[in-house]
């Protein structure tokens, strides 16, 4: 079933108005087009967002219906080719930072609805595209054809007859328009995702990207997934880092039916963890030092036992971000602070950063205490890890 059909059915079942959002706009929300194609302070979907890569920075393009700089001159077939194969109208190949490897799974009805939305509802913007900062010869595009042959499958999503309609709907959204694997799946030697669907155990198992660690989504509790995607908060957790923008621009607009479908699918995935690295031995006295720091800065909000406050202050006990194999996101939140997403369903709640108050050793002791208390069993954190996270925060 297409996003269009499912969207209309869920709106009608909830007594909502199908006029609230066109089917194409809903596809654009599900695909989070705004996050990549709208630069800070820029016009909607006019491009310009910078994306650092190991080869140099690239910039998102203008996808408004402007005929000179945007996609206004694209036929539907040319648009479909760009979305499924990563080939632009003039024949040049797109960098796979544009997740055509996921969008290829979208069905024809949803692709058409998205095209109609971009062409008919989005205001044209006469904003020129910016060339990448990748220097020649690395800027040559022909090797991307080889990359596609090695790593890309442009086939549409095929429903699993052994699973429910809800499961298949969730799989379609996660693997396709939602392109969750772009951030949450680790990358290989050629920057390819190590799995594009649930057949691969690395799919959605967590990955470091752009200075953050996107968490392992496999086996997540269903009620937590739906709440986090809708409001940025669940009973015991909260969204932080780049995922906040995903909730703000995309997932908060999905129907409850789609959110529950995504939750059903993610919960079904075997929660296989990657091979554990050798645990870092805690520094002598670090637990006691971390406990004192926690009592001074954290316990007032998060509780004496890291229990938090339901739907307001996230718990630290059992918190997947705190106990992740890679503590990078937790460290950045500690140093820089964080704010839950701004949504239609919930007001934002902010946590201050403590990078100014804690030196590297103090922050490492505190994080080690959080990762080893109240049933948490993650390894200790070093001062060097804090120092590296601090450098990222200062960029």
Query: 24 with 141, same domain?
Result: yes
Joined tokens for residue 314: 């996230």
Query: 129 with 206, same domain?
Result: no
Question: Residue 345: what pLDDT?
Answer: 79
Confirm whether 305 is domain-assigned.
yes
| CA–CA gap between residue 299 and residue 140 (Å, rounded) | 54
Confirm whether 12 is domain-assigned.
no
Of 285 and 165, the one with more pLDDT:
165
Lowest-pLDDT choice from 172-176, 234-238, 313-317, 328-332: 234-238
Joined tokens for residue 133: 């900062």
pTM, rounded to two decimals:
0.89
Query: 228 with 323, same domain?
Result: no
Joined tokens for residue 366: 């505190």
Query: 47 with 131, same domain?
Result: yes
Instruction: Spell out the SS3 assignment of the chain.
Output: CCHHHHHHHHHHHCCCCHHHCCHHHHHHHHHCHHHHHECCCCCCCCECCEECCCCCCEECCCCCCCCCCCCCCCCHHHHHHHHHHCECCCCCECCCCCCHHHHCCCCHHHHHHHHHHHHHCCCCCCCCCCCCCCCCCCCCCCHHHHHHHHHCCCCCCCCCCCCCHHHHHHHHHHHCCCCCHHHHCCECCCCCECCCCCCCCCCCCCEEECCEEECCCCCCCHHHHHHHHHHCECCCCECCCCHHHHHHHCHHHCCHHHHHHHHHHHHHCCCCCCCCCCCCCCCCCHHHHHHHHHHHHCHHHHCCCCCCECCCECCCCCCHHHHCCCCHHHHHHHHHEEECCCCCCCCCCEEECCCCCCCHHHHHHHHHHHHCCCCCCCCCCCHHHHHHHHHHHHC
At 139, the pLDDT band (50, 70, 90 cuts) reads confident
CATH number at residue 252: 1.10.760
Confirm whether 337 is domain-assigned.
yes
Query: 176 with 131, same domain?
Result: no
| CA–CA gap between residue 260 and residue 207 (Å, rounded) | 24
pLDDT at 11 over 60: no
At 390, the pLDDT band (50, 70, 90 cuts) reads very high
- How high does pLDDT run on average in the chain? 90
Average pLDDT over every residue of 194-215: 93
| CA–CA gap between residue 198 and residue 195 (Å, rounded) | 8
Phi, psi angles (nearest 5°) of residue 144: -65, -25
Query: 125 with 246, same domain?
Result: no
- Structure-derived torsion over alpha carbons of residues 74, 80, 85, 88, reported in degrees to the nearest 10: 10
Q: Are 381 and 387 in contact (CB under 8 A)?
A: no
Question: Residue 78: what pLDDT?
Answer: 98
| CA–CA gap between residue 307 and residue 304 (Å, rounded) | 7
Phi, psi angles (nearest 5°) of residue 47: 80, -170
Q: What is the pLDDT of residues 179-203, one digit of tens each?
A: 999 999 999 999 999 999 999 999 9
Q: Could you list the residue range(s) of the whole structural domain that residue 208 is in?
A: 165-268
Last residue of a domain, one of 125, 151, 177: 151
Q: What is the pLDDT of residues 359-388, one digit of tens each?
A: 999 999 999 999 999 999 999 999 999 999
Quickly tell me which residue has 């140099």 as its tokens.
56
| CA–CA gap between residue 386 and residue 367 (Å, rounded) | 9
Quickly tell me which residue has 């109240």 as its tokens.
374
Query: 143 with 35, same domain?
Result: yes
| CA–CA gap between residue 267 and residue 56 (Å, rounded) | 37
Residue closest to 307 by CA, chosen among 320, 296, 295, 319: 319
Confirm whether 295 is domain-assigned.
yes
Average pLDDT over every residue of 287-306: 95
Question: Residue 277: what pLDDT?
Answer: 53
Last residue of a domain, one of 106, 121, 151: 151
Question: Residue 19: what pLDDT?
Answer: 46
Confirm whether 334 is domain-assigned.
yes
pLDDT at 2 over 70: no
Of 136 and 93, the one with more pLDDT:
93
Confirm whether 274 is domain-assigned.
no
CATH number at residue 307: 1.10.760.10
Percentage of the chain with pLDDT > 90?
Answer: 77
Question: Residue 273: what pLDDT?
Answer: 58
Confirm whether 357 is domain-assigned.
yes
Q: Are 321 and 240 in contact (CB under 8 A)?
A: yes
pLDDT at 4 over 60: no
pLDDT at 285 over 80: no
Quickly tell me which residue has 């086939």 as its tokens.
155
Q: What is the pLDDT of residues 152-185, one digit of tens each?
A: 999 999 999 999 999 999 999 999 999 999 999 9
Instruction: Give per-residue burial for 278-288: e unless 16+ CB within 10 Å, then b.
Output: eeeebbeebbe
Instruction: Indicate the number of domains in the chain.
Output: 3
Query: 236 with 322, same domain?
Result: no
Task: Give the pairing of strands 350-352 and 337-339.
Answer: antiparallel
Query: 145 with 29, same domain?
Result: yes
Last residue of a domain, one of 100, 123, 151: 151
Query: 144 with 173, same domain?
Result: no
Of 2 and 268, the one with more pLDDT:
268
Query: 264 with 291, same domain?
Result: no
Joined tokens for residue 342: 């701004």
Query: 237 with 354, same domain?
Result: no
Confirm whether 194 is domain-assigned.
yes
Question: Residue 280: what pLDDT?
Answer: 65
Q: What is the pLDDT of residues 253-280, one digit of tens each?
A: 999 999 999 999 999 998 765 555 555 6
């Amino acid at each position: 079933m297409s996003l269009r059909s499912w969207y209309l059915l869920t709106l009608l079942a909830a007594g909502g108005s199908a006029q609230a959002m066109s089917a194409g706009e809903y596809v654009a929300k599900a695909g989070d087009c705004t996050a990549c194609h709208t630069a800070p302070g820029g016009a909607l979907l006019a491009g310009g967002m910078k994306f650092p890569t190991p080869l140099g920075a690239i910039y998102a393009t203008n996808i408004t219906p402007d005929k000179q700089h945007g996609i206004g001159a694209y036929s539907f077939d040319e648009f479909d080719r760009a979305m499924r194969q990563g080939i632009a109208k003039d024949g040049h190949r797109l960098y796979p930072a544009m997740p055509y490897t996921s969008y290829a799974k979208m069905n024809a009805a949803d692709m058409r609805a998205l095209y109609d939305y971009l062409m008919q509802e989005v205001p044209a913007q006469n904003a020129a595209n910016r060339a990448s900062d990748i220097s020649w010869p690395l800027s040559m595009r022909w090797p991307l054809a080889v990359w596609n042959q090695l790593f890309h499958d442009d086939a549409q999503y095929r429903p699993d007859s052994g699973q429910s309609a809800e499961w298949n709907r969730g799989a379609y959204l996660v693997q396709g328009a939602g392109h969750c694997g772009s951030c949450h799946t680790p990358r290989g030697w050629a920057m390819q995702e190590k799995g594009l669907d649930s057949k691969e155990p690395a799919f959605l198992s967590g990955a470091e990207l752009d200075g953050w660690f996107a968490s392992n989504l496999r086996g997540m509790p269903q009620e937590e997934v739906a709440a986090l995607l809708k409001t940025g908060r669940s009973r015991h957790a909260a969204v932080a880092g780049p995922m906040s923008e995903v909730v703000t621009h995309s997932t908060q607009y999905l129907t409850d039916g789609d959110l529950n479908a995504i939750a059903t699918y993610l919960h079904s995935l075997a929660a296989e963890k990657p091979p554990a690295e050798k645990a870092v031995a805690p520094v002598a006295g670090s637990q006691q030092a971390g406990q004192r720091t926690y009592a001074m800065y954290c316990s007032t909000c998060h509780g004496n036992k890291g229990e938090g406050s339901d739907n307001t202050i996230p718990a630290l006990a059992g918190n997947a971000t705190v106990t992740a194999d890679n503590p990078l996101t937790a460290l950045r939140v500690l140093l820089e602070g964080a704010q839950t997403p701004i949504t239609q369903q919930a007001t934002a709640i902010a946590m201050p950063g403590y990078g100014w108050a804690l030196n590297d050793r103090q922050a490492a002791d505190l994080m080690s205490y959080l990762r080893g208390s109240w049933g948490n069993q993650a390894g200790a954190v070093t001062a060097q890890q804090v120092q590296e996270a601090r450098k990222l925060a200062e960029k």
